[in-house]
Structure 1
Amino acid sequence: MTDSPTAARLARFKIGDIVKHRVYPFRGVIFDVDPVFANTEEWLQSIPAEIRPRRDQPFYHLLAENAEATYVAYVSEQNLLPDDSGKPCRHPMIRDLFFGPEAGAYHRKETRLN
């Protein structure tokens, strides 16, 4: 498989889904999706080569949380799993962007530009 941006595919998860990291102990709510890697080269190179994600997959912006803190995370699709804990997320920005959770996901609030 190549790292070509033309190799983009459909995202497995959608905005509002609650997901967890496959390796690290954090979870979160998806608030944006990039069809392929769209962060800096420095960010990508900071990840050890043996676990560095491929560029040719969706990357998700999460309102993330772990046991100690809430933060924003950028995670490749290969490193995410559905979170089936049934627990709501506690990130303080969730209430600004979403309703819920309901049926295991959050639902976007309508936003007005004017």
Structure 2
Amino acid sequence: MKQKNAKFMIGEVVRHKVFPFRGVIFDVDPEFANTEEWWNSIPIEIRPSKDQPFYHLLAENDDMEYVAYVSEQNLEHDESEQPLRNPQIYQIFEPRDGGQFKPKMILAH
């Protein structure tokens, strides 16, 4: 299987193309790495291919903050520059210009 390069980077703000949520990427899998149960819970008509990058997001919608796992084909850059309210984002990342984030430096003791 040919490995694809990830289109999005850690710290990038993205939004889902179909569902109304957005968030910050905190990890990337080069291809699907979740459970079959999770995979099968996606309706077949919108189920993405497994051989593409999948992203872990600190996500939010109008109602709540949560962690999401999303295929590359279902994400796009979020250009809104609207503030994100998920408190976990600010524990892991520092804001950068342009509405993106960079991981905080963690010093070992």
Give me the TM-score of the superposition, normalised by structure 2. 0.95
Q: Which of 45, 48, 54 is the aligned partner of 1:50?
A: 45
Matching residue of 1:88: 83
**Distance in structure 2 (CA, Å) of the matches to 1:109 and 1:67:** 26
**Distance in structure 1 (CA, Å) of the matches to 2:49 and 2:107:** 36
Q: Which runs of 5+ in 2 are unaligned?
A: none
Matching residue of 1:104: 99
Q: Give the C-alpha shift of residue 86 in structure 1.
A: 0.9
Q: Is contact 1:88-1:101 (8 Å) kept?
A: no
Q: Which of 69, 73, 76 is the aligned partner of 1:78?
A: 73
Q: Give the C-alpha shift of residue 23 in structure 1.
A: 0.4
**Distance in structure 1 (CA, Å) of the matches to 2:32 and 2:50:** 5
1:11 aligns with 2:6: yes
Aligned residues: 109
Give per-residue Cα distances to partners, 1:39-63, cap 9 Å, x unaligned: 0011001111111010000000000
Q: Which of 29, 37, 57 is the aligned partner of 2:32?
A: 37
Q: Give the C-alpha shift of residue 98 in structure 1.
A: 0.4
- Give the RMSD, CA atoms, in angstroms: 1.0
Identity %: 57
**Distance in structure 2 (CA, Å) of the matches to 1:57 and 1:113:** 34
Structure 1 counterpart of 2:50, one-letter code = R
Q: Which runs of 5+ in 1 are unaligned?
A: 1-5
**Distance in structure 1 (CA, Å) of the matches to 2:50 and 2:88:** 28
